[in-house]
Amino acid sequence: MKRIFSILLGLLLLFQTNAFATMISDASNGYPVANHSTEIWQRLGESHNSNDGIFWSVDGGAYGNKDVSIGDLVTFKFIFWHQGWGTHDYDQLKVWYDTDSTDGFSGSTVLLREQHFKKDNTVWTYNPTGDEKKKAEENAYYSFTEEDLFITPDMVGRLFLRARVHCNHTEWDNMNPAGYLNQGEVEDYFITVTPVPEPATILLLGIGLIGLSGIGRKRFRKK
């Protein structure tokens, strides 16, 4: 009997195990590359030299980069840093996700509603740009949660997530998931989506194993 319970415990732990998603440095498996000329103005992360600005929570749990399963409710958190001075009016963040790694974003979905980080018109005593039209404020980062995503059976496999930060040199509607933007940063993630047996299935399996154990013990006693 102890052995049976050990097997059941092992199965439950197996089904609860979470692997970690991988941030990739270049687009692969059918996804076109997105590139930027410089990351000095906008970054994903808490500072100008960060490179880790995307996290998510599964069913209200702690934020991290775990893989997900069918039935999970995923809430994303984005951390966005921007340079405090420049001539543009605002910075922006746009995120896409896609479940078909061979279609090159033809069926991708924009995850975020329009996200702008508007700069004010404060005039600094020292003008780093030498431009009277500069928009200035303190260097800052924003951390916010956005958009719950329910994981459905058609997402089993790998969920590809891409985020791009940029200024308003390219407007929101023209900001695409692939190609060149003159400044900003891009981060890509492959998130594994796994099917998980329903609790009832695990329960029936456990009852069946216990039943087989009982039958085996009876036969042993008769002998």
Q: Does 1 fall in a domain?
A: no
Name residue 7's amino acid.
I
Q: Does 70 fall in a domain?
A: yes
Q: Does 209 fall in a domain?
A: no
Q: How many domains does the chain have?
A: 1
Name residue 223's amino acid.
K
Decide: pTM greater than 0.75: no
Q: Note down the domain range covering 92.
A: 19-198
Binned at pLDDT 50, 70 and 90, residue 30 comes out as: low
Q: Does 111 fall in a domain?
A: yes
Overall average pLDDT of the 133-157 stretch? 74
* pLDDT digits 0-9 by tens, 154-210: 888 878 889 999 998 999 999 999 899 989 999 988 889 999 755 544 554 555 555
- CATH of residue 101's domain is 2.60.40.10
Structure tokens at 22: 């991988």
- Distance, CA of 54 to CA of 63 (rounded, Å): 9
Q: Does 207 fall in a domain?
A: no
Q: Does 89 fall in a domain?
A: yes
Q: Per this entry, what is the length of the chain? A: 223
Q: Does 33 fall in a domain?
A: yes
Pair 32, 104: CB distance under 8 Å: yes
Who has greater pLDDT, 15 or 222?
222
From the CA atom positions of the chain, what is the Rg in Å?
Answer: 24
Which of 114, 138, 112 lies closest to 53, judged by CA? 112
Q: Does 73 fall in a domain?
A: yes
Apex CA 111: angle with CA 110 and CA 113, to 5°? 90
On the CB side of 26, how many CA atoms lie within 13 Å of its CA? 1
* pLDDT digits 0-9 by tens, 96-139: 988 765 666 777 888 887 888 877 655 555 555 555 556 655 66
Apex CA 136: angle with CA 134 and CA 138, to 5°? 160
pLDDT at 55: 92
- Distance, CA of 46 to CA of 79 (rounded, Å): 6
- DSSP-assigned beta bridge partners for residue 36: 181
